[in-house]
Structure 1
């Protein structure tokens, strides 16, 4: 197993991406601690993991509340002795932002995803790193989107938010890699199984002038295999990147857009 005996904390584990990554980590032997702002969704995922024979715990943690994150991480250290992997999959869908042209968007709504995504990633990464340096070992991870590298209309500050997270991945790695900690990200294009892509489509449906199926066909047509990535493919890649088999990968965001974006 790729992650045998590893301890992984997943933030935003009640969402589609966080849940898929948590399940993949557990299937590869990790002890997974799932967190979210609401306990119900993460509890449900933890129960699924346990029913499948994995090891999982759930906790209610606001990934923008630094003291809460700190207290929870210390409880993980007290129980498990260490944290090997920190994965931030926190999301903030907001229908007031999507579908509104930038020239019409209120400044506070523009700033909301930029500050929220970057701050959540910064807080969870920083607090995990402080625990990891003692062992000179650990992996800090997050997920972004194609918005980071290409212009997409009517998505407000989500593009700058994703770009900020990718810049933070590089900066964190430059500081932490000499201390034994890898920092990596994953950038998928779109995954129809995730609620995120539906949230991105619905407010913009009229402006796009496409049905849901037509829009998915357009997105798939931009990839080399003419299909979109699945959650399982993303999660399997996350498990590999979190493992010691990927020890040479740090300071980068892996392009999982299936050829729709060039690096």
Structure 2
């Protein structure tokens, strides 16, 4: 097992990406501490993991609340002795962000994803790092999107938010690598099982005249494989990057756009 005896904290574990990563981590032997702003969906994921023979505890934690994050991390260390992996899969609804031209968007609406994504990532990363530094070991991870590297219309501040998370990943790595801590990110394009791709489609549906199936085909047509990545494929890569087999990887974002973006 690639993550045997590893202790992993996952933020946003009730969402599609967080839950997929949780199940993949558990299948590879990790002990999970799952969190989310709302407890109910996180408990569903924890029960799924446990029923499959894994180890998982659920907790209600607002990843924008520094004190709440730190209290939870202290409880994890008290129970498990350390923190090996911190995975930030926190997201925000995009329904009020997408579909509005930048020239018509107010500053607060534009700034919302930038402040939310960067704040939650910085808080969860730096607080986890403070517990990892004494152990001189640990992996801090997050998820971005291809918006970070290419211009896309009608996405408001979502693109700048993803670019900021990738810059923060590099900066965190530069500071934490000397302490034995790796910081890496995953950059998938669009996964049909997530709500993000549907929220991106809905504001464009009427204007474009595309059906849901045509929208997926349009996005898939941009990839080399002419298909979109699955949650399982993304989660499998998360397992590898969190494992000791990826010990040479830090300060980088893994391009999972299947060729949509050239590196």
Which aligned pairs between 1:174-189 and structure 2 lie closer than 5 A? Answer: 174-189=174-189
TM-score after normalising by structure 2: 0.99
Which aligned pairs between 1:245-260 and structure 2 lie closer than 5 A? Answer: 245-260=245-260
* 2:198 corresponding residue in structure 1: 198
Work out whether residues 94 and 196 of structure 2, in 8 Å CA contact, stay in contact via their aligned partners in 1.
Answer: no
SS of corresponding position for 2:134:
coil
Q: Distance in 2 between matches of 1:62 and 1:241?
A: 25
* 2:71 corresponding residue in structure 1: 71
- The reply on whether 1:102 has 2:69 as its aligned counterpart is no
User: How large is the RMSD of aligned CA atoms in angstroms?
Assistant: 0.6
Q: Deviations over 1:173-215 (max 9, x none)?
A: 0000011000000000000011111112112222333111111
Q: Deviations over 1:67-90 (max 9, x none)?
A: 000000000000000000000000
Q: Distance in 1 between matches of 2:174 and 2:17?
A: 26
Q: Deviations over 1:206-242 (max 9, x none)?
A: 2333111111001001111100000000000000000
Measure how far apart 1:35 and its partner are. 0.3
Q: Distance in 2 between matches of 1:121 and 1:97?
A: 19
Q: Deviations over 1:14-52 (max 9, x none)?
A: 000000001100000000111000000000000000001
Work out whether residues 154 and 204 of structure 1, in 8 Å CA contact, stay in contact via their aligned partners in 2.
Answer: no
* 2:243 corresponding residue in structure 1: 243
SS of corresponding position for 1:202:
helix
* 1:82 corresponding residue in structure 2: 82
Which aligned pairs between 1:76-225 and structure 2 lie closer than 5 A? Answer: 76-225=76-225
**Structure 1, gaps ≥5 residues long:** none
Q: Distance in 2 between matches of 1:155 and 1:39?
A: 29
Measure how far apart 1:95 and its partner are. 1.6
Q: Distance in 2 between matches of 1:90 and 1:96?
A: 17
Q: Distance in 1 between matches of 2:205 and 2:82?
A: 46
